[in-house]
Amino acid sequence: MAAATGEQAVALTVQEMARRSGFSEPTLRYYEKIGLLGPVARDESSGHRRYEPATVARVEALSCLRSAGMTVSGMRRYLGPARPRKSKVLAERAAWDYVHTHGDIELTVVNPTGIFGPQLGNRPSGSVGLVKGMLTGQMPVVPVMYFGVVDVRDVADLHLRAMLHPKAAGERFIAVSGSSISFFGMARILREHFPAAAGLLPSAELTIEQVREAAKTEPALRDAAALRGRIPVISNEKARSMLGWEPRDVNETIVATADSQIRLGLTLPENDSLQS
């Protein structure tokens, strides 16, 4: 499936994408429909699909995961939904530009990190799906990668505080529980509180060198490779000091995420022996 960079510079037709990926044309259209692929560009004259380099890389990542036996739900949890990475940044910039142009409106921005916590419905978000993927054995190994975590209940609380506090107008707040955590660190929390799932949880963490090597042929690992194991420092001090926000501990949030999925029907081996 690997190809030279020069080949990827040319947009592919759906027929070419099907031959290159091994997916049928209906499968490619289905993945686009359910959000595994973002909206595929269209030729202006014919209206036919044209798979541009970023989309080609996404399809190749899906093909690798599918070849490994991963289900559609597993691929969704692993890669997350397809969406432009800069969309949130651009949306916020547009909002601030609008406020600066129209002086009669106030704006406060809350930027959450990875949102976890109790799941209410049967359609988990990409973040919450990570926990489910671990508990169901779909992530036997994980890359070394750190990220921020925040509880969905604390995100709601911060929004309310930001709306009601008189000094919040014109401010930006980062919603993060505390120090960054890794995929493997999350697995350790789950292993401690849900010992019956120990055999299903990730048992190894790829080294930085392994991630970098794997990323050469696996686009899904390029973000982890670029980070090189760095631990991002994300501060919630502004929200704490200005709004009196007190987020939950990361451990509590991850355990609550797993507990809610069990309540919604997730079955683990020897479920009656779980200790949470």
Question: For position 272, what pLDDT does the model report?
Answer: 43
Beta bridge partners of residue 150, listed in sequence order: 115
Q: What does the alpha-carbon distance between residue 154 and residue 114 come to, in Å, rounded to a whole number? A: 12
Question: For position 186, what pLDDT does the model report?
Answer: 95
Question: For position 195, what pLDDT does the model report?
Answer: 93
Q: pTM of the entire structure? A: 0.67
Q: Any idea which of 89-93, 117-121, 182-186 has the lowest mean pLDDT?
A: 89-93
Domain count of the fold of the chain: 2
Q: What does the alpha-carbon distance between residue 196 and residue 174 come to, in Å, rounded to a whole number? A: 35
Question: For position 1, what pLDDT does the model report?
Answer: 33
Question: For position 184, what pLDDT does the model report?
Answer: 94
pLDDT confidence band for 93 (50 / 70 / 90)? confident
**Cβ burial, residue 52 (10 Å; 0-12/13-18/19+):** middle
Question: Is the same domain home to 48 and 115?
Answer: no
Question: Is the same domain home to 171 and 242?
Answer: yes
Domain boundary among 49, 71, 93: 71
Report, as an integer, the average pLDDT of 147-154: 95
Q: Which domain holds residue 15?
A: 1-71
Q: pLDDT higher for 89 or 260?
A: 260
Report, as an integer, the average pLDDT of 223-233: 82
Which H/E stretch holds residue 151? strand 149-151
Question: Is the same domain home to 50 and 92?
Answer: no
In a domain, 78, yes or no: no
Q: Are 146 and 176 in contact (CB under 8 A)?
A: no
Structure tokens at 63: 């093909």
Question: Is the same domain home to 108 and 46?
Answer: no
pLDDT confidence band for 55 (50 / 70 / 90)? confident
90, 181, 189 from 259: Cα distances, Å: 36, 19, 13
Question: Is the same domain home to 101 and 140?
Answer: yes
In a domain, 76, yes or no: no
Q: What does the alpha-carbon distance between residue 218 and residue 66 come to, in Å, rounded to a whole number? A: 12
Q: What is the CATH number of the domain that holds 58?
A: 1.10.1660.10
Beta bridge partners of residue 274, listed in sequence order: none
DSSP readout, 55-115?
A: HHHHHHHHHHHHHTT--HHHHHHHH-----TTHHHHHHHHHHHHHHHSTT----EEEE-EE
